[in-house]
Amino acid sequence: MKLIASLTSPYARKVRIVLAEKKIDCPLEEDVPWNADTRVAEYNPLGKVPVLELDDGSTLYDSRVIVEYLENSSPVSRLLPQDNRQIILTRRWEALADGIIDAMVAIVLERRRPPEKQMAEVVERQRGKIARGLATLSEDLGEKPWCTSHGYSLADIAVGCCLGYLDFRAPEIDWRKAHPNLDALLQRLNTRQTFQDTEPPAA
């Protein structure tokens, strides 16, 4: 089994954290889909990371699919609750966090276009998604130390990767002032070795 991933991908970071939390030994093959020599499409027809190649040569893609596979592969450090309703609520956190990342990725891609072709309305629309998403995360978190009442879980990993990616790609977005509870959550998460070990490399 091996993970094909970019060190700057927040989706890949989520998978890497889950692997570490569950003590699953899995080598990492670094590959950046935007590079001319990328081989990602050989593993995932959509040309996206992360991709998990299994021992039989088959592949899994989309971080949510990979995470579910890993959760069911090892009983160590359960990251999803057993109750179906709580599983759905945890997945809702993950979907919202991933959606905020999707919006940030859209902004990053727009900024890579030639200046004369960039569309300000595209960026503003995505910023609106980010602002609304963060507001909902903050409201749902409230004063709780973790996203769900069951303690540290996949929900916290997803939200932490989301907030870390905003800091990495858009440090100008001052989300901490509006949402100090999210800031406190990220600070707690950043004390974990799994988060420290998966920080994206400095630009």
pLDDT beyond 70 at 14: yes
Residues 94 and 178 in one domain: yes
Last residue of a domain, one of 38, 73, 108: 73
- Alpha helices for the chain (secondary structure H): 10-21, 40-43, 63-73, 84-111, 120-141, 154-169, 175-178, 180-189, 193-196
Last residue of a domain, one of 73, 103, 118: 73
Residue in the structure block whose two tokens are 């919006």: 103
The domain that holds 117 is classified in CATH as: 1.20.1050.10
User: What global pTM score does this model have?
Assistant: 0.96
The domain that holds 24 is classified in CATH as: 3.40.30.10
Average pLDDT over residues 150-169: 97
Residues 66 and 95 in one domain: no
Instruction: Give residue 178's domain range.
Output: 84-196
- For residue 79, tell me if it sits in a domain: no
Residues 88 and 179 in one domain: yes
Q: What's the token pair of residue 95?
A: 């979907």
At residue 68, the pLDDT reads 96
* Least confident piece of the model among 132-136, 146-150, 197-201: 146-150
The answer to whether 53 and 43 are in contact (CB under 8 A) is: yes
104-133 per-residue burial string, b: 16 or more CB within 10 A, e: under 16: bbbbeeeeeeeeeeeeeeeeeebbebbeeb
Residues 108 and 60 in one domain: no
At residue 197, the pLDDT reads 98
pLDDT single digits (tens) 47-84: 999 999 999 999 999 999 999 999 999 999 999 998 99
At residue 149, the pLDDT reads 84
pLDDT single digits (tens) 138-152: 999 999 999 998 899
Residues 177 and 147 in one domain: yes
Residues of the chain above pLDDT 90, percent? 98
pLDDT beyond 80 at 203: no
- For residue 203, tell me if it sits in a domain: no
- For residue 201, tell me if it sits in a domain: no
Number of domains in the chain: 2
Last residue of a domain, one of 52, 73, 94: 73
- For residue 144, tell me if it sits in a domain: yes
Residues 101 and 65 in one domain: no
